[in-house]
Amino acid sequence: MNFRFLSELLTKDLRILFFANLAGSFGDGLFAYVLPYYMRETLNASPVEVGILYATANVCVAVTLLAGGFLADKYDRKKILILSWLSWAPAPLIFAFASNWTQMLPGMLLWGILFSQPTSTAYIVTTVDKKKVTLAFTAISSAWSLGYVFSPAIGGYLAQTVNMQFVFFLASIFYASAGVILCLIRKQTPPSHKQQAQEKNYSKLELLKDRRLLTFSAFFAMSMFTMLLFRPFIPTFVADAYGYRSFEIGVLGSFFFLGSAILGIALGRVGDKYKKSYAFAAALALTASSLVLLLLTGNFHVLLVTHLLIGASYLAWPLMNAIVGSCAPETSRALWVAIPQAVSMFCAIFAPYLGGVLYEASPYYPFMFGAAVLLLLAGAALAKLRY
């Protein structure tokens, strides 16, 4: 990442947000990619039980997204962002002391707290040059990807040479550091209630009748359901089908997020130069193509390329945020963004469970299903999303 490029694109506050995400995502990447493998190998969780754990996190994600949208349209967004990161810090500590899969449940609930998503979206759209919205979203999203570039390999190495508990403790420290870094950004309070009352379309009930918002919610929901159906099972598939273990899986995870960072900048430029929907459709199509390649060969060098392309799966979220955030009115921007996000996660609650059922039937089924649906969604996005 060219940090001079960041200084030209992002304001000081957004650069701080970038580096907070970078620190937090590094901690997350230490364990997140190998977590399904850890659940199975160490805690003896079945694929269905792994799906239940991720579905539990998705329930909390859906609830806190909607709550975050309400809060970010009423209170200082800086405080909400800090609170969101600090709430993650205990989660890996719970994972460290869990001796079976059911003891992971409280940690998965904390890991699912996502007040920050609608809040950061509103913060970014309010701050950034409107001609660079898509690139700003993908650039800040790339902080997550860059944080993951080395951390999965490091986490996998530490898990093998020290133990997984040490990895969890280290992750907790990085989560807390992200919250501390965010103390440096400026406060951002939404418009006053008087201003909100003067806006014609501010009514919360009216939002539910907005056809654009319904369309966004449908695309968000179908995309995230499909992504979350197969994504938790990529590490276990690589282990089961091709025989790789923690360190190799960690290296592949690093390439997964390196691809997300590289493709994020490229697709961000496409979205700002042409249409945001083109970039969104391209992310879905690239992900579908990579899943096909994943099923065809276990050659490690080819898998590195495959994981680079699978990184596009993480771009659907920031690209959709760029589309929705650009259309949203200022006085209810966070809630506008939170509604499609929350709808998508409510719909995706059972996606990991369904993925686990399909995986038990055949390790190939979740990825075959995912590739087919994502290609259909890419075509529908080109036809229906014109933003």
Residues 363-382: tens digit of each pLDDT:
999 999 999 999 999 988 88
Q: What is the CATH number of the domain that holds 95?
A: 1.20.1250.20
| 197 falls within a domain | no
Mean pLDDT, residues 53-64 taken together: 85
DSSP string, 262-313: HHHHHHHHHHHHS-HHHHHHHHHHHHHHHHHHHHH---HHHHHHHHHHHGGG
Better-predicted residue by pLDDT, 205 or 179 = 179
pLDDT of residue 376: 93
Mean pLDDT, residues 124-139 taken together: 74
Is residue 170 very low, low, confident or very high in pLDDT (cuts 50, 70, 90)?
Answer: very high
| 5 falls within a domain | no
> Are 56 and 105 within 8 A, CB to CB?
yes
Domain with 351, as residue range(s), is 11-185+209-384
The two structure tokens encoding residue 350: 């059972």
> Are 253 and 31 within 8 A, CB to CB?
no
Q: CB neighbours (10 Å) of residue 200?
A: 7
| 204 falls within a domain | no
Average pLDDT, the chain: 82
Distance CA 66, CA 21 (A): 21
pLDDT of residue 346: 78
Q: pTM of the predicted model, to two decimals? A: 0.70
Distance CA 17, CA 361 (A): 42
Mean pLDDT, residues 118-122 taken together: 82
Give the percent of the chain with pLDDT over 70: 90
Q: Which of 86-90, 131-135, 295-299 has the lowest mean pLDDT?
A: 131-135
Mean pLDDT, residues 290-305 taken together: 92
| 43 falls within a domain | yes
| 307 falls within a domain | yes
- Given a cut of 60, whether residue 5 has pLDDT beyond it is no
Distance CA 283, CA 266 (A): 11
| 201 falls within a domain | no
Q: Is residue 44 exposed (0-12), middle (13-18) or buried (19+ Cβ within 10 Å)?
A: exposed
pLDDT of residue 6: 57
> Are 307 and 255 within 8 A, CB to CB?
yes
**In which region does residue 45 sit, left (phi positive, over 0), alpha (psi from -120 to 50) or beta (all else)?**
beta
The two structure tokens encoding residue 105: 């449940």
| The total number of structural domains that make up the chain | 1
pLDDT of residue 368: 94
Better-predicted residue by pLDDT, 92 or 337 = 92
| 145 falls within a domain | yes
- Given a cut of 60, whether residue 197 has pLDDT beyond it is no
DSSP string, 11-23: -HHHHHHHHHHHH
| 324 falls within a domain | yes
pLDDT of residue 199: 47
Give the best-scoring range by mean pLDDT among 42-51, 176-185, 269-278: 176-185
